[in-house]
């Protein structure tokens, strides 16, 4: 991990030699001045300057934001837990290849306690919802391009279940549930639809559609990133 003090590249390799870099969730709060945060931001700045395209979810988006000069804060509306609801592309997002195939509003797996407050110069807001200021963005900085989302297209519904159970006390404290049992009951429903994604009764009880229950739809941003940035970059570097 970039935050680890002893993290190094394999001998003879560098960021510029990779087709792409993917950054996902992290327990770090990017507004804290800690050695781990400083190392992560140094890595992100090196990634931007390398020109290697990068994609990030959750803390990955926040890391790119702060490295490029934006700001991150604690969620002003409390945790967004389980699923981000009614994400809406901006005018720029509706025509951006990152969100190709997404409808005019959609849900996605999400669990985070921090959010992007302000995007840096050179960034484009691509999607938002009523809970979170920035749900998707493109950041161009120091010769590099980053596409990111606050939600988690990379995880399965079983991982949503695990996150809810791990953070049950925090969800009760924030008012999203009255008791741990309520969190467990919600997690049980999510776990059940993970096992049987075609069950309409479970989708109805959870208020979900195939943007979440269908694995291909959940991961659409990752596929779009690979098709739009990774494959062309790789082919250009290899003379293809």
Residue 99 DSSP symbol: G
For residues 162 and 130, give the distance between their C-alpha atoms in angstroms, rounded to a whole number. Answer: 25
Residue 147 pairs in a beta bridge with 55, 138
| Token pair listed for 86 | 């009614």
Number of H helices, E strands in the chain: 11, 9
Residues that are catalytic: 58, 152, 154
User: Residue 63 in contact with residue 30, Cβ under 8 Å?
Assistant: yes
Distance separating alpha carbons of residues 37 and 31, to the nearest angstrom: 8
Tokens in use for 119?
A: 């995007």
Question: Residue 128 gets which letter from DSSP?
Answer: E
DSSP reduced 3-state for 36: helix
Strand (E) or helix (H) holding 64: helix 59-67
Contact in structure between 107 and 129 (CB atoms under 8 Å): no
Spatial separation of the C-alpha atoms in residues 147 and 91, rounded to whole Å: 16
């Amino acid at each position: 991990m970039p935050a680890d003090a002893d993290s190094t590249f394999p001998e003879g390799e560098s960021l510029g030699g990779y087709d792409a870099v993917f950054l996902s969730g992290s327990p770090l709060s990017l507004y804290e001045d800690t050695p781990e945060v400083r190392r992560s931001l140094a890595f992100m700045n090196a990634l931007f300057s390398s020109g290697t395209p990068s994609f990030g979810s959750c803390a990955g988006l926040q890391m790119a934001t702060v490295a490029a000069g934006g700001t991150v804060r604690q969620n002003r509306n409390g945790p967004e837990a389980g699923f981000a609801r009614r994400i809406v592309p901006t005018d720029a997002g509706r025509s951006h290849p990152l969100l190709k195939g997404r409808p005019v509003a959609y849900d996605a797996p999400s669990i985070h306690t921090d959010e992007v407050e302000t995007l840096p110069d050179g960034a484009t807001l691509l999607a938002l919802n009523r809970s979170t200021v920035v749900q998707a963005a493109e950041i161009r900085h120091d010769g590099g391009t980053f596409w990111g989302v606050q939600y988690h297209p990379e995880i399965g519904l079983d991982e949503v279940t695990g996150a809810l159970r791990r953070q049950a006390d925090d969800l009760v404290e924030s008012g999203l549930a009255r008791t741990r049992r309520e969190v467990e009951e919600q997690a049980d429903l999510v776990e059940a639809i993970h096992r049987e994604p075609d069950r309409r009764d479970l989708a109805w009880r959870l208020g979900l559609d195939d943007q979440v229950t269908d694995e291909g739809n959940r991961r659409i941003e990752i596929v779009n990133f690979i098709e739009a940035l990774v494959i062309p970059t790789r082919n250009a570097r290899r003379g293809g």
